[in-house]
Structure 1
Amino acid sequence: MSSPKQSPASSRNPIRMLSWRVVIAAFLVACGLTALTTWALVTATDAKTADQAKIATVKINAIRTGLSVGAGIGGAMALLLAARKQWLGERSQTHQEDVANSDIMDASERRITDLYGKAVDQLGSDKAAVRIGGIFALERLAQANAGHRQTIIDVICAYLRMPFSMPSELDLGSISAYTLQSATDQESQQEIQVRLTAQDFLKRRLSKKSTNLDDHWEGLRIDLTGATLITFNLSGCEFREGVFSNSHFVGTTRFNSSASTGSSTFRGARFSGFADFSNVDFSGRARFDDSFYARSCSFEEANFDQARFDKATFMGEAIFNRSNFHNRAIFDDATFSRAIFTEADFIADVQFLRVTFSEVAGFGQSRFRGAATFTNCRFDKDVRFGGSRFEGRVRFREAIFSGQASFGECNFLEGVYMRGAAFDDVAKFGNSKMMGGASFRDVSFKKGATFTGTSSSRSITFYGVRFDGAVNFFKTEDQPIEFKNSSIQDRDQMLHSPKYWLAASQENSLGRYDIVRWNPPMVLP
């Protein structure tokens, strides 16, 4: 609980008493000033040259004037003392009011503390109805006392963090309000209802859609580390910071259209059912490393400031369509089943190191504004980058493409670099623009490769490349293409050779045909 505010009286200077010596000294000074004034006036009248009667009259008037001055000084002293008395009275009244306000504040704090303690005691009851009553009591207390809201949110989160095991007969991935009633353990059913009430409390008070502005509690931190959360729903909510590390999300989880103004972490979190993070806005750092998704999840049109998904496991479909990554995004050592990044926007660098895509991976029409790294990645099925725009350096080092790889109509502004990559199926680069050049070093194309209509303002170089299937360079006559130590399995599979290049007529020592430069003979007129 927060401490009561400091009383205004505690910052005031203490009242200093007026000494009698000061009063006597002031009286003597007043008398002296009166005598001095009278003497000065009498002395001035002695210098006159009029007759004696007029002189006497003038002296009397001078004396009267001096006495009037003395009376005026005395009146001023009396007025000063009266003003001080009034000031002391006002100070006394203010002090009494401060004491009364302090008593009221202390009484209010004692009342809040008492209510808080009783509500917390209710949460510890062995009866579910009493625990639910404690949650509502805490909510009412926080609604009326804004300064205690974070503390009460912390209490609710602490309750949800208490150990709880779901009944074993329930399917954790498809739990609903109906299936929860099928739990055979009555005690577990009651505890589930208490937890759902606590979760609804968080949803209600963090929602941005509240009709009453005071119903939305702003700038709060949620700490649900290690909690078991059942059909958790924070859709349309806003919070300052969210900590969900190692939490277990049972049933459908909804964070769609929510916003976090600070950092959020789901490190080590487990999602047994569908996880909906569509349209979320993580203004701070968002960590999903080591998270596990047993079923599908959606981050469609999500906004990330800094995102980390390293070592995350996606067993179902992972949807990142039209998501925006404003700073560096890391997916190192992640495992995807079906990954969809269609029209995603990577505004800064993105890194996929040692990532496995066991099903289709779709990056079509995505935009990579920074460096894009796909080192040691494994694409077990088809991968599609068609229509994507790479504005930074692109690296596919030691990547394995087991299915078809489509890079058709891609735009590589700063060049593409592939080293040690293996294409087990057809690789398509048709109509792609490699304006920054391209380097294929020690790459193997086991089925076929299509570079039809590929254009570049710099050289496209193949170092030690092995073509085991058909390779097509149709409509690339005017492009700068170079081959060094590259070969093809069957010279008849060299379709539409690039300008000045062809397959050698004889096999090399490995039974393959080197791709060699051809110098046409001079044609005489």
Structure 2
Amino acid sequence: MIVLWWPATAGLTGADLVKARLDALKIGLSIGVGSGGVVALYLAWRRQHSTEADLDNRERALAHQQDVAAATQAHQERVADDARADAVERRITELYTKAVEQLGSDKAPVRLGGLYALERLAQGNETQRQTIVNVFCAYLRMPYDLPDEQDHEEGASAEQFEIYRARAQEREVRLTAQRLLSEHLKPNRGPVYWGDLDLDLTGAQLINFNFNDVRMRTGNFYEATFAGDTWFERTTFSDYVVFSSSTFAGYARFGKAAFIGDAIFLGATFTDDTAFHQATFASEAWFEHVTFLDDAWFGDVTFTGEARFGSARFTGEAWFIGATFAGEALFDEATRGGDSRPFHPSSVSSNSTDSGQPG
């Protein structure tokens, strides 16, 4: 204001001096007020900027706290999930171990309880099904002798009767294991079906084995003994199956069975009527060195791949009426009848069969 005062009033006197000084005072006051407004605006801006920065810092701090809380919660949930999974795994392991221990009991009812415990475990835990099927198969692979009826007849000793009783009880356990496998390998059973699984029954002693309508992935029945009659009707083998060197003591039925992979019967022995009528072999069928001690039906069978019957022996009648050989049919050194006559499907007379199917 002083800067404006003196230059503006220099050389003036009287009324002009008073007027000039009043004008200078007004201008100075206006400049002062304006400067104060600028300062006030600046200070207000600073306060606003500081407030906004503080809010921004608070928001970032809150967001960080929320991120930390979310990460902590996610970690806690993962820990809880892992703990639950570990608890489930421990429970499964405990149930599995106890059931397997029951299978090792010397008491048949306890062994039966072990089978049913494993069945329940497999039904409720899909990832355990192949393992439990493996246990069933391993049990059936263990050595076993069928009960001898002479040990149960009048005059048998107490020791013989005890042997008969133990073997008869074990037979019931084995029949149960077979039935449980069959029930859970049938696609038409809906939620009870356990899926396309592998079976290894190498060398097993199987009794009145009924696997009708079953579906399995691979099946290994190498050197298995089928005591009594055997049924594989309408069974699907979605991969290879091996019956090499197996023995079928009763009649065997494979009607309408579907062999998707290779079907290997090398050296198998069929002691009674055998029927493969309307079965389909989508890959190779190996019947080399197979012995059919009674009648064999292959009527309306479809062989898509090679059909190998080299050195096969047909002791009874052999029906191939209506059979289709899309691939090569090999019957080198195959024989029929007791006189070992050379055999080939084309050599079977039409009057030896009516339908190519078992009666």
* Alignment TM class, shorter chain as reference: 0.7 to 0.9
Aligned length in residues: 311
Aligned with residue 342 of structure 1, among 321, 325, 338 = 321
Q: Deviations over 1:323-369 (max 9, x none)?
A: 11111111111111221111011111111111101179xxxxxxxxx
Q: Specify the alignment match of 1:296 in structure 2.
A: 273
5 Å-filtered alignment, 1:361-372, equals none
Provide the rounded CA distance (Å) in 2 between the counterparts of 1:357 and 1:145.
Answer: 51
CA gap 1:58/1:380 in 2 versus in 1, 3 angstroms? closer
Give the letter aligned to residue 307 of structure 1: A
Counterpart of 1:164, as a letter, is Y
Counterparts of 1:270 and 1:381 in 2: how far apart (Å)? 24
The answer as to whether partners of 1:278 and 1:298 remain within 8 angstroms in 2 is yes
Matched residues, percent identical? 36
Cross-structure match for 1:193: 172
Structure 1 Cα separation of the partners of residues 349 and 33 of structure 2 = 126
Shift of 1:71: 2.2
Q: SS of 2:321's equivalent?
A: coil
1:346 to 1:381, Cα distance in 2 relative to 1, 3 A: closer
Q: Which residue of 1 aligns with 2:348?
A: 384
Give the alignment of 1:103-502 within 5 angstroms.
Answer: 103-169=83-149, 185-210=164-189, 213-305=190-282, 306-337=284-315, 338-358=317-337, 378-379=342-343, 383-384=347-348
Cα displacement (A) at 1:53? 3.0
- Larger deviation: 263-272 or 90-99? 90-99
**Aligned partner of residue 284 in structure 1, secondary structure:** coil
Give TM-score scaled by structure 2 length. 0.81
- Shifted more, 306-315 versus 91-100: the winner is 91-100
- Deviation, structure 1 residue 148: 0.5
Structure 1: gaps (5+ residues): 1-49, 171-181, 361-375, 387-403, 406-525
Letter in 1 for 2:206: L
Specify the alignment match of 1:56 in structure 2.
Answer: 36
Counterpart of 1:188, as a letter, is R
Looking at structure 1, the residues matched to 174 and 268 of structure 2 have their Cα atoms a distance apart, in angstroms, of 23
Displacement after TM superposition at 1:101 (Å): 2.0
Equivalent residue letter for 2:95: L
- 1:7-18 paired onto structure 2 within 5 Å: none
Question: What is the CA-CA distance between 1:184 and the residue it aligns to?
Answer: 7.9
Deviation at 1:267, TM superposition (A): 0.8
Matched residue SS, 2:296: strand
TM-score w.r.t. length of structure 1: 0.56
More strand by share: 1
CA change 1:161–1:99 in 2 (3 A) is same
Q: Which amino acid aligns with 1:347?
A: A
Displacement of 1:279: 0.6
Match of 1:71 in 2: 51
**Rounded Cα–Cα distance in structure 1 between residues aligned with 2:44 and 2:91:** 69
What code does the residue aligned with 2:40 have? I
Of 98-107 and 299-308, the range deviating more from structure 2: 98-107
List structure 1 segments (4+ residues) > 6 angstroms apart after TM superposition.
none
Q: How far did 1:111 drift?
A: 1.3
Alpha-carbon distance, 1:54 to partner: 2.7
Letter in 2 for 1:80: R
Question: Tell me, which stretches of 5 or more residues in structure 2 are unaligned?
Answer: 1-29, 151-160, 353-359
Distance 2:293 2:149 in 1: 22
SS at match of 2:194: coil
Residue 55 (structure 1) shift: 4.1
Other-structure match for 2:73: 93
Distance in 2 separating the partners of 1:385 and 1:75: 102
Structure having greater relative contact order (Cα 8 Å, sep ≥ 6): 2
User: Counterparts of 1:377 and 1:244 in 2: how far apart (Å)?
Assistant: 30
Range 143-152 or range 200-209, more displaced: 200-209
Say if 2:299 and 2:321, in contact at 8 Å, map to a contact too: yes
The offset of 1:183, in angstroms, is: 11
Match of 1:29 in 2: none
Q: Name the aligned partner's letter for residue 145 of structure 2.
A: S
Q: CA deviation at 1:200?
A: 0.7
The AA in structure 2 aligned to 1:71 is T
Partner of 1:394: none
d(CA) in 2 for partners of 1:85 and 1:237? 59
3-state SS of 1:209 partner: helix
SS in 2 for 1:185: helix
Give the aligned residue type for 1:197: T
Aligned partners of 1:308 and 1:314: how far apart in 2? 14
Q: Higher helix fraction: Structure 1 or Structure 2?
A: 2
| DSSP 3-state at the match of 1:316 | coil
Q: What's the RMSD between the two structures over aligned residues? A: 2.6
Could you tell me how far 1:285 is from its partner in structure 2?
1.1
The one-letter code matched in structure 2 to 1:336 is: F
Aligned equivalents of 2:54, 2:346: Cα separation in 1: 106
Q: What is the Cα deviation at residue 379 of structure 1?
A: 4.1
